[in-house]
Amino acid sequence: MICFLLIVAQTYNPDIAQIVNRVNVDSVAKFILKLQNFWTREYESDSMYKARLWIKDKFINLGYNVTEQIFSYGGREQANIIATKYGLSDTENVFIIDAHYDSRGENWGVPPYGPAPGADDNASGVSLLLEIARIIKDIQFDYTIKFVAFACEEPGLIGSEYLAEHYSSNNKKIKCLLNADMIGGDADYINDTIIIERDEDNTPDTNNLKSWAFADTLKNSYTLYTNLNTVFGPVFGSDYIPFEDSGYTVIGVFEYNWNSTYHSAYDVVDSMDVNYTAEVIKGVLAFILYVARFYPVEVTEIEFGNRFNFKKVIYDISGRKILNNKIKSGIYFMVTENKIKKILKIK
Ligand SMILES: [Zn+2]
C-alpha cells in the first residue's frame, strides 16, 4: 500500500499578518536596554541573579506558568527560566523557543569584571522571547509552547546541557527547538538578511530532515510576513547543540552581519539595529503561529458536566455536526447567531 503524505503549503494568512504587526520596535528596544543596563550578566556576577529575577518576573506578569531549572556553576546557583503556554490539544510534544541571557565582556573570568552589556549577544535573543510572549499571551494554540532563557551559555552551553539532559533522560518530546542568539545586526551595515540555521550535523543524522523542513517553513514565514531576505547556515556554537546531540529537532536564527562589538563593553543597543531585531522577531512569531497551530478566534472553555446546557449546533474539528449527547471532552467549533466562529474546549 502506498501512503501519501499530505503537504499543505503555507500561504499568506491575514490573521497571522495582523498578529505579526503587533511586534513593536519600542517594546523590543526597552527589553534590550533593560538587560544591557544590568552592566554585566556574567555568570559569576551578582547582576546575573538580578537579570534572572527580572526575566522571571516579566514572564509571570504576562501570565505564564514559570519554573526554574536550578543548577550550580561557577560557585553559584544558576537557573534556566522556563515559561510555558499549554496547548489545547497537545501538552507533551512541545515547541521550545530559547535564548541565553548571560553575557561576557573583555575581563572574562577575571574579577572584578568589566562591563558586559551584551545587547546583541544576547539581550536581542531574550527580547525575542519576551516580545513574542507578550503578543501571544491571550492566543490559544494546539501545541504547547515553552520559552526558555538559558543561563551560562558563554562558559560552554552549561545551562542548555542541563535542560537537554533532563529532556532526554525523561524521554520528553520536542517538536522543534528554535534558538535565537545574536539577532541585533550591526549599526554600521544595512541589515536586510537573516541566517536560518539548520541541522547539518551527522551525529546523529536522524534529526536532520525534520530540521530542514522546519527551516523551510521558517524561511516561508520570513518571505510572507517580513521584509528580510533569508539564507541557510549550519547550527553551531549555541544552546541548540546539546539538544541536537541528543537527537532533537533544532533550528536557529542568527544575524547575517555579525556584530563586531560582541563580547566587549561596546555591545550596546546603539551598536546594533533594533528595527532589524523586530523584523527577525516577526518571522519567528509568524512561524510559531503557523507550526504550533494558533486559533484565530476566541476559545471558550466549558466543563464537561455543563455540556447539555449547550443549545448551539457544534462541529468537530473535521467539520461534522455533533449531536449534543455525543460530545466528549475535546475541541469543537461553534457558529453563533451572528456567524462568529467560536472554539470550544470541553474539559
Ligand atoms: Zn551568544
> What separation in angstroms does the CA of 268 have from each of 66, 86, 116, 124, 255?
28, 35, 9, 10, 15
Q: What is the structure's pLDDT at 2?
A: 46
Q: If you measure from the C-alpha of residue 118 to the centroid of ligand 1, how many angstroms do you get, rounded to a whole number?
A: 8
Per-residue pLDDT of 79-106, as tens digits, reads 999 999 998 888 889 999 999 999 999 8
Q: If you measure from the C-alpha of residue 186 to the centroid of ligand 1, how many angstroms do you get, rounded to a whole number?
A: 15
Separation of alpha carbons 263 and 104, rounded Å: 5
Burial class of residue 247 in the structure, from the number of CB atoms within 10 Å of its CB (0-12 exposed, 13-18 middle, 19+ buried): middle
The total of other beta-carbon atoms located within 10 Å of residue 102's CB is 27
Q: What is the structure's pLDDT at 1?
A: 41
Q: Are 218 and 128 in contact (CB under 8 A)?
A: no
Sketch out the chain's domains with CATH numbers.
Answer: 14-291 (3.40.630.10), 299-346 (no CATH)
The closest of 295, 290, 302 to 317, measured between CA atoms, is 295
Q: Are 3 and 15 in contact (CB under 8 A)?
A: no
Q: If you measure from the C-alpha of residue 324 to the centroid of ligand 1, how many angstroms do you get, rounded to a whole number?
A: 54
Helices 124-136, 46-61: inter-axial angle, 10-degree rounding: 20
pLDDT in tens, the chain (347 residues): 444 444 557 899 999 999 999 999 999 999 999 999 999 999 999 999 999 999 999 999 999 999 999 999 999 999 999 999 998 888 889 999 999 999 999 877 777 678 999 999 999 999 999 999 999 998 989 999 999 999 999 999 999 999 999 999 999 999 999 999 999 999 999 999 999 999 999 889 999 999 999 999 999 999 999 999 999 999 999 999 999 999 999 999 999 999 999 999 999 999 999 999 999 999 999 999 999 999 887 677 666 665 555 566 777 766 677 776 677 777 777 665 555 556 777 77
Q: What is the structure's pLDDT at 295?
A: 85
> What separation in angstroms does the CA of 67 have from each of 80, 85, 260?
8, 12, 34
> What separation in angstroms does the CA of 294 have from each of 14, 134, 139, 239?
13, 15, 7, 26
Q: If you measure from the C-alpha of residue 240 to the centroid of ligand 1, how many angstroms do you get, rounded to a whole number?
A: 11
Q: If you measure from the C-alpha of residue 190 to the centroid of ligand 1, how many angstroms do you get, rounded to a whole number?
A: 21
Q: If you measure from the C-alpha of residue 254 to the centroid of ligand 1, how many angstroms do you get, rounded to a whole number?
A: 10
Q: If you measure from the C-alpha of residue 156 to the centroid of ligand 1, how many angstroms do you get, rounded to a whole number?
A: 10
Q: If you measure from the C-alpha of residue 54 to the centroid of ligand 1, how many angstroms do you get, rounded to a whole number?
A: 19
Residues with CB under 5 A from ligand 1 (ion): 121-122, 181
Q: If you measure from the C-alpha of residue 121 to the centroid of ligand 1, how many angstroms do you get, rounded to a whole number?
A: 5
Q: If you measure from the C-alpha of residue 189 to the centroid of ligand 1, how many angstroms do you get, rounded to a whole number?
A: 20
Residue 122: asked if its preceding bond is cis (omega within 30°), the reply is yes
Q: Which residue in this structure is represented by grid cell 510555558?
A: 84
Separation of alpha carbons 178 and 219, rounded Å: 13
Give kind and range of the element (H or E) at residue 37. none
Kind of pairing between the strands at 76-85 and 143-150: antiparallel
Q: What is the structure's pLDDT at 238?
A: 98
Separation of alpha carbons 28 and 130, rounded Å: 8
Q: If you measure from the C-alpha of residue 93 to the centroid of ligand 1, how many angstroms do you get, rounded to a whole number?
A: 27
Separation of alpha carbons 324 and 332, rounded Å: 12
Q: If you measure from the C-alpha of residue 263 to the centroid of ligand 1, how many angstroms do you get, rounded to a whole number?
A: 9
Q: If you measure from the C-alpha of residue 308 to the centroid of ligand 1, how many angstroms do you get, rounded to a whole number?
A: 54
Q: If you measure from the C-alpha of residue 100 to the centroid of ligand 1, how many angstroms do you get, rounded to a whole number?
A: 7
Q: Are 279 and 226 in contact (CB under 8 A)?
A: yes
Q: What is the structure's pLDDT at 321?
A: 75
Q: What is the structure's pLDDT at 336?
A: 56
Q: If you measure from the C-alpha of residue 154 to the centroid of ligand 1, how many angstroms do you get, rounded to a whole number?
A: 7
Q: If you measure from the C-alpha of residue 256 to the centroid of ligand 1, how many angstroms do you get, rounded to a whole number?
A: 14
Q: If you measure from the C-alpha of residue 84 to the centroid of ligand 1, how many angstroms do you get, rounded to a whole number?
A: 23
As given in the structure block, the three cell numbers for residue 19 are 498578529
